[in-house]
Structure 1
Amino acid sequence: MFKFEKNMAMAYSDFVYISELEDLFGIVQKRKNLFPSLSGITPSERLLLDLEDADLVPINTEKAKSEHLIVPVLKEILRKNRNFSYFSDFLFDVDKTQGLSGYCDYIFSTETDAIEIKSPVFCIIEATGGVPQNRSLEEGYAQACAEMIASRIFNEKKGKPTPVVYGCVTNAFEWSFLKLEENNFWIDTERYYLDTNGLSQILSILQYIVELFVNNK
């Protein structure tokens, strides 16, 4: 069984296996199609041009993928939803004693005017390792789940409980969506790719998540 040693400092990125979270938090891993009935959203010309421009620069680092492929997609959602915001590379310390601390790649929040996280509801993890097109998304699941657990605990402490928290692991080219509901950690059986059809589905899922929490705010 996975246990913290005394004075052992851990962060989200130190979680490698979901079994670690099963032992610590009672998480149960499950799989299903999370968004079976969503219709795609047509991307704007602005987004398409931004993604086309990405072909003009080398996409061989985490920073390049983030700036030229992930951020344009997130900004597309932000333009459609001014009552939502996202934080990037944000220090999100919730419970250091349980390893729920460290930097998050991206966190969506229902607060728009704050400079600090107020109500996190969606976490995005950039997968690491390998060449950009072939990185394993599975290696990011445990970290994503840890951040989602932290988001739920954070909201409970703030008096804004969120029974469901969503997440995503992406290498920019491929996106895998996640859902934490009660102790069930759901992994979407579908994968979405940053191509013409996949992009519209990614936008549709992100829009669905935003509307779900904004409408229930």
Structure 2
Amino acid sequence: MSYSDFKSLDQAVSNLELTVEDIPHFFSQVAPIEPSQRLQETLEENLDLAVSISTEKARSELIITPILLEIRRRFQNKIGYFSGNTFNVDDAKGLMGACDFMLSASSNQSLVTAPVLTLVEAKDNDIRIGLGQCVAQMVAAQIFNNRNGREQQAVYGAVSTGTNWKFILLEKDRVKIDLTEYFIPQLNQILGILSEPFRIYFE
């Protein structure tokens, strides 16, 4: 079993013994961050093309990656960016395999270091399908953080189609899902939420 085998949120919650809380506007208090001119220009060029191609690969390369690299630049490249890397944490629980994207609090591209933010590409442009996989990866990140002395570190996760974003927070065994879905015109809010775990860590 691997992350991609967690086909639904119910499956992840049941198998990993979690509880779920749906919270409207859960991340609404996070300060928005204005995108750089570089990111704005990139998305102006890429967005329509990615939507017209409408494959996961195109949305990943043309929308999601530029947004994640913006977060990395914001923290002076002190954040590690990983795409498709293997993250084997607990074979017995099925917490193994490749993650679509991860950001970690280290500029070292050779090793993932705690804390970790994990992001899943939505399959078939359906955010719901990616929630189970995202939660499984967040639990893996939590275990990884604990092993590296970050026991109190909340884990952030996201599922995205590129144009739509859903954010999740894991604290101990409680999954908190923001019922609000963010869209690409709300880019400043998306950037703010993606930056939040690293703002807390570095500040």
SS at match of 2:159: strand
1:52 aligns with 2:40: no
Q: Which residue number corresponds to residue 153 of structure 1? A: 143
Q: Which residue number corresponds to residue 91 of structure 1? A: 86
1:140 to 127, 130, 141: 130
Structure 1: how far apart are the matches of 2:109 and 2:162?
Answer: 27
Q: In structure 2, what residue type is equivalent to 1:98?
A: K
Query: Could you tell me how far 1:109 is from its partner in structure 2?
Result: 0.5
Q: Which residue number corresponds to residue 35 of structure 2? A: 43
Structure 2: how far apart are the matches of 1:109 and 1:162?
Answer: 16
Name the CA shift for 1:76/1:67 in 2 (closer, same or farther; >3 Å).
same
1:65 to 59, 62, 69: 59
Q: Which residue number corresponds to residue 3 of structure 1? A: none
Query: Could you tell me how far 1:66 is from its partner in structure 2?
Result: 1.1
Listed as ranges, the gaps of 5+ residues in structure 2 are: none
- Is the Cα–Cα contact under 8 Å of residues 169 and 176 in structure 2 kept in the other structure? yes
Query: Could you tell me how far 1:114 is from its partner in structure 2?
Result: 4.3
Query: Could you tell me how far 1:171 is from its partner in structure 2?
Result: 0.5
Deviations 1:131-186 (A, max 9, x none): xxxx2211111100000000111122233324310000000010000000111101
Give RMSD over aligned pairs.
Answer: 1.6
Identity among equivalent positions (%) equals 35
Listed as ranges, the gaps of 5+ residues in structure 1 are: 1-9, 130-134
Q: Which residue number corresponds to residue 4 of structure 1? A: none
Q: In structure 2, what residue type is equivalent to 1:13?
A: S
1:17 aligns with 2:8: yes
Give the greater-gyration-radius structure (CA): 1
Name the CA shift for 1:207/1:157 in 2 (closer, same or farther; >3 Å).
closer
Q: Which residue number corresponds to residue 107 of structure 2? A: 112
Structure 2: how far apart are the matches of 1:163 and 1:80?
Answer: 21
2:188 to 184, 193, 200: 200
- Is the Cα–Cα contact under 8 Å of residues 84 and 214 in structure 1 kept in the other structure? no
SS at match of 2:103: strand
Q: Which residue number corresponds to residue 173 of structure 2? A: 183
